[in-house]
């Protein structure tokens, strides 16, 4: 098995597709690579299938036009909770004071339904961790990487030749190309934006 980030991105995309089979209204995942190294205290810092399902709750909420968070996305409200239950996520009885119902966990039924997906993703994540741990001693990734963060909300617009764009932390784009699902070409940061950074 290859341990490159594109392989992990492909596994993330496949896991997302597996969720879509059970929940067809879930929009496509525009850039699975953006989840690699992304950290959010409200949604969970560790990349796992459980976190992917958590993100799918946000995707379905967006597709339905439901405002599922407040406080700049930190507080997950009861509308988030209702969709989370539909996707097979359990929750604590009472909301957390600052993040609401963000601390959801897979229930037994969802764990059974997605067992092959979970196992495949865990293998890819483990291989990715081994590959990235091997090069951390020899490469400098800046203070954000040392402190387990992708750089917070500092994102720039990356564009594709077909006109689509995504917001991405430059360090995530530097790890591996993010490929457009529309035309198959990589997103890039325009020179004018890159020069200002």
Give the pTM.
Answer: 0.63
Cβ atoms of 15 and 121 within 8 Å: the answer is yes
For residue 104, how many other CB atoms are within 10 A of its CB? 24
Structure tokens given for 50: 């459980």
Q: How would you classify the pairing of strands 156-159 and 165-168?
A: antiparallel
Cβ atoms of 40 and 76 within 8 Å: the answer is no
The rounded average pLDDT for each run of 10 residues, N- to C-terminus, in the chain (197 residues) is: 64 93 92 64 66 92 93 89 95 87 92 95 84 58 42 66 79 76 83 43
Per-residue model confidence (pLDDT) at position 62: 93
| Placement of tokens 């865990």 in the chain | 122
Structure tokens given for 178: 């993010």
What is the distance, to the nearest Å, from the Cα of residue 102 to the centroid of all Cα atoms in its chain? 15
Upper half-sphere CA count for residue 80 (Cβ side, 13 Å)? 24
Per-residue model confidence (pLDDT) at position 38: 53
Per-residue model confidence (pLDDT) at position 134: 61
Count helices and strands (H / E) in the chain: 8, 6
Per-residue model confidence (pLDDT) at position 47: 77
């Amino acid at each position: 098995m290859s341990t490159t980030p594109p392989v992990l991105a492909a596994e993330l995309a496949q896991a997302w597709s597996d969720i879509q089979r059970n929940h067809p209204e879930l929009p496509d995942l525009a850039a699975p690579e953006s989840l690699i190294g992304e950290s959010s205290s409200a949604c969970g810092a560790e990349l796992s299938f459980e976190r992917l399902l958590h993100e799918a709750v946000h995707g379905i909420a967006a597709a339905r036009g439901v405002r599922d968070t407040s406080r700049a996305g930190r507080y997950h409200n009861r509308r988030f909770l209702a969709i989370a239950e539909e996707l097979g996520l359990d929750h604590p009885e009472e909301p957390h004071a600052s993040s609401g119902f963000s601390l959801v966990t897979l229930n037994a039924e969802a764990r059974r339904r997605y067992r092959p997906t979970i196992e495949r993703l865990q293998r890819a994540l483990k291989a990715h961790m081994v590959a990235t741990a091997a090069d951390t001693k020899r490469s400098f990734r800046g203070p954000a990487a040392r402190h387990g963060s992708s750089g917070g909300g500092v994102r720039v617009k990356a564009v594709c030749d077909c006109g689509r764009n995504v917001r991405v932390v430059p360090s995530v784009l530097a790890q591996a190309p993010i490929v457009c699902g529309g035309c198959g070409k990589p997103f890039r940061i325009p020179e004018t934006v890159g020069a200002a950074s």
